[in-house]
A = this chain, B = another copy of it.
Amino acid sequence: MARPRSFDPDDVLEVAREVFLRKGYQAASLDEITAASGIAKPSLYAAFGDKHALFLRVLDRYHDGILGWAERVLAQPGPARDAIRQWLTGFVPYCSGAKGARGCLSINAATDGSLDQAEIRKSIERYNRRLEQLLRARLNADRAQFKKGFDPDLTAHTVMVVHTGLMTLAHQGSDAKQVQAVIDQVMTLLA
C-alpha cells in the first residue's frame, strides 16, 4: 500500500556515480545529482539518507561490480599469467577509453583528504584487500607454473601497485598502447 516509488534506486546510484566520479565527493552537489537523475531532493534523502550515506552506497556498489568481474576473469582456466594480464588489460578502456579518462572512483575517494571518514576507509581497504587476495589466491594455486623462488604474495601486491598506478595515471589521460606495453613488461615478473 501507499504511493510507490517513481524511480529505480539503481538508476539513481548510477547517475550519482557518474557525478561523483566527474566532480569528486566535495564538489559534487546534490542539486547536480537530483538534476541529472530527475528526482527531487526529499526523495533522494528518503531513499538513501544524507550525502555521505549516498556516497557510501555508490562506492560499495562500485566495489561489488569490480570485484564480481575480477572474480570471473581470474577464475578462468589456463595460465595464471594470461588471466592476470587480461584482468589488468580490462581496466584500460574502462578508465582511459571513450568515456573519458576519469580514473577510478575508489582511488579518487582514497586520495580525497576530505574523506577520512572511517566507513569510507573501511570500504576501500576491504576492496583492496579482496582484490589482492584474488590475485594472491590465483598465483598461489598456479605456483607450479612459475620458476623456483617465485613469490606469489609479493607479486600479487606488486600487481596491485601497478594496477593502482595505471588507474591513477589514467586519470590524466593515458595512451592505451603505452598502458598495454607497461602491462606486458610487468607480466615478465610472472615467470
Residues in A lying within 8 Å of B, measured CB to CB = 20-24, 26-28, 102-103, 107-108, 110-114, 121, 124-125, 128, 151, 154-155, 157-158, 160-166, 168-169, 171-172, 178, 181-182, 185-186, 188-189
Contacts and interface: CB of A to CB of B under 8 A. Distances in A.
A110 B171 CA distance: 7
Copies of this chain held together in the complex: 2
B154 A182 contact: yes
A111 to B, nearest CB: 5
Contacts of A158: 182, 185-186
A120 to B, nearest CB: 11
A79 B125 CA distance: 37
17 contacts: A23-B114, A24-B112, A26-B114, A27-B113, A27-B114, A107-B111, A107-B168, A108-B113, A111-B168, A112-B112, A155-B185, A157-B181, A160-B165, A161-B165, A164-B164, A164-B165, A186-B189
A21 B165 contact: no
A112 B26 CA distance: 9
Contacts of A151: 185
B165 A110 contact: no
A113 to B, nearest CB: 4
Most-contacted residue by chain B among A128, A151, A163, A182 (CB, 10 A): A182
B168 A154 contact: no
A68 B70 CA distance: 40
Contacts of A166: 161, 165
A188 B155 CA distance: 12
A162 to B, nearest CB: 6
The 8 closest A-B CB pairs, nearest first, are A165-B165, A27-B114, A24-B113, A26-B26, A161-B165, A164-B165, A111-B111, A23-B113
